[in-house]
With several copies, the nearest count.
Chain A
Amino acid sequence: MSAQEYNPNELLICTASRLMPDNTTAFIGTGIPMLAASLAQKMHAPNLVAIFEFGGTGAILEDLPLAVGERRTFHRAVAASGILDIVETAQRGFIEYGFLGGAQIDPFGNLNSTVIGDHDKPKVRLPGSGGGNDVGSHCWRTIAIMRHDSRRFIEKVDFITTPGYLAGPGAREEAGLPPDTGPYRVVTTLAVMGYHPESKRMMLLATQPGVTVEEVVENTGFELLMAEEIESSPPPTAEELRILRDEVDRDRYYI
């Protein structure tokens, strides 16, 4: 694939990568977030502090981790501990960004990765929370990376595995979740979305290259708020793609 062309995963990785500032802590889950974190370290954020659920803190992501507890998640790390040390670090307020995924998302950013249908008689049994609920409860800002279609972006998820803004403004705090936390961005191959500061409903911030606002709306199963100015998310740069292909994922596990 040439530097001008890129595949959907490459787009997601580059878009997510740019959301990670230097000298910040980020709770990194399996898949796209690992590639995004590795790319970020090699681009604009050499001191991004990657934190992995099962104990790695501050690893240098020279080689791409393929799973959340494998040796690359604590390669030349500053600390290698265990899951509770990590999640308690998040619970104590030290982790700024967290990455999430799911089968369904609603306008308030609530995520479902547990069941389609009724919990006790599910149509589809999904894997369950994993670390998702922990990340969504404790990290200051969570970023969901999703496939974008109207069966996934729906008015009401079948099961709130991981809390977004729950029923809306104030609901997280009422439930006892830490104040000032919650969903921050949703990244898809069609768009980048945020949340309205008052209503806490999902809001279109930017479209991905070549995607129209109409396409985004069409593929979203609920009313999407619109930012005053909808930006065009810039495509992956030649430099990003080069590093991604030649350094981050040399073995093409994901791209």
Chain B
Amino acid sequence: MKVLQEGVGPLIQPPDLNAFRSWNREKPKAMIDKRMTEAEAIDQFIQDGDYIGTELYGTVRCPQSLVNEIVRQGKKDLRVAGQGVYELDILLGAQVVKALDITYIGMEVYGVSNCLRREVESGRVETCVEWSNAGIAWRFKAAAMGVPFLPVRSMLGSDTLRYSSAKVIECPFTGDLMCLLPALILDVGLIHVHRADKYGNAQIDGITGFSAELARASKRLIVSAEEIVPTEEIRANPEKTIIPYYLVDAVVEAPFGSHPGEMCYIYERDEDQIKEWIEASKTEETTRAYLEKYIFGVRDHAAYRQLVGEKRLADLKAMVPGR
């Protein structure tokens, strides 16, 4: 296969689909109660140096209680796939990221990420490999399909491709140039959902982002859910299941798990706390103070909710209009 161009970016995680097959074969297919706390899930399934990914869009449906626990446990040298706003900013603020497959890390309308700037410009993040949003999602899709690459027409002609690890080839059917994206297999995927049963069958309301793809691209998958429901509720609406249980290693009950982000139909975004973070993230010192307050200073997600305050959380719920 003649390669006409290739990006100079390293493959931070090589796409070995045969090894992934063997891994998946060994995952238990039994219906096992996988409920545990954030602390147990992160301790058991994330190692220093792991390649991890979060699924979300902006601050919507972030697995934030899991990300907070990663920071709390002092996991480090993480390699991260990123499209992210607040949650990746927290990881960068905690200085636990070593390498990034990056598409977008920023604060949306609030502008650039101060933490990304500090970590990359200082060289503490050693590697940034560039992709587009769909590029990263397609890389998950390739892994989810069980193939080592997908051909797409994004990224062609750009420096985004030049600083990626994609390759350009000529289509053997049409002669069109295609950008080949290598499959991205995560060591650990983190997804927050509306509901899951204790085995890990998970359902999401509204748009689904790239949850199906990331879940299927993960060697280990930690699902947090606003609510744990009986399996019969899942079986009554199997069309809604976007993650079948056998993909899942841990199920964490996490009400307000996306806070300060939002969860559609359940609670709105906590704009005040987002603004507090934007301010805090401006210096290393204030960043540390923020992390101290919201992560190290609280034992777990229940304590975090207490710190944020029942009234404030109730207000965020009350802001949700009818459908």
Contacts and interface: CB of A to CB of B under 8 A. Distances in A.
B297 interface: no
Interface in A37-91: 47, 49, 52-58, 60, 63, 66-71, 73-74, 76-85, 87-91
Task: Specify the main secondary structure of chain A where it touches its partner.
Answer: loop
A54 B104 CA distance: 14
A94 B131 contact: no
Interface string B250-286: 0000000000001011000100000000000000000
Interface string A160-173: 11110010000110
Contacts of B108: 30-31, 67-68
Interface in B17-65: 17-18, 20-25, 27-31, 56-61
Interface stretch (A11-19, A129-137, A202-210): A129-137
A151 interface: no
B87 interface: no
A23 interface: yes
B147 interface: yes
B57 A69 contact: yes
A227 interface: no
B209 A93 contact: no
A125 to B, nearest CB: 4
Contacts of A253: 109
B116 A127 contact: yes
A131 B137 CA distance: 11
Nearest to A165: B157
A94 B246 contact: yes
Contact of B158 (A58, A87, A160, A174): A160
A234 interface: no
A159 interface: yes
Given A84-B134, A93-B23, A122-B121, A179 B57 contact: no
A123 to B, nearest CB: 8
A119 interface: yes
Interface residues of A, number: 80
Contacts of A60: 235
B310 interface: no
A161 B116 CA distance: 17
A212 interface: no
B287 interface: no
Given A25-B246, A67-B108, A138-B154, A83 B130 contact: no
B238 A133 contact: no
A211 interface: no
A172 B157 contact: yes
B323 to A, nearest CB: 9
A126 interface: yes
Q: Which of B28, B176, B209 has the most CB of A within 10 A?
A: B209
A124 interface: yes
Interface stretch (B187-195, B200-208, B220-228): B200-208
A147 B162 CA distance: 27
Interface stretch (B69-77, B138-146, B288-296, B299-307): B138-146
A128 interface: yes
Contact of B120 (A53, A87, A89, A125): A125
A107 to B, nearest CB: 16
A94 B211 contact: no
A160 B177 contact: no
Contact of B210 (A84, A130, A133, A166): A84
Contacts of A74: 206-207, 238
B103 interface: yes
A252 B178 CA distance: 44
B206 A177 contact: no
Contacts of B21: 92-93, 178
Contacts of A58: 244-245
Contacts of B177: 175-176
A254 B109 CA distance: 9
A63 B322 CA distance: 13
Given A81-B241, A94-B29, 15 more contacts: A23-B31, A54-B207, A78-B245, A79-B201, A79-B244, A82-B208, A82-B210, A84-B213, A87-B133, A128-B130, A129-B131, A134-B133, A138-B153, A175-B157, A176-B177
28 contacts: A23-B31, A30-B109, A49-B29, A54-B207, A67-B57, A67-B109, A68-B108, A77-B238, A78-B235, A78-B241, A79-B241, A80-B206, A80-B239, A81-B207, A81-B239, A82-B209, A83-B210, A93-B20, A93-B23, A94-B27, A122-B120, A125-B112, A126-B112, A129-B103, A130-B104, A130-B133, A133-B132, A178-B18
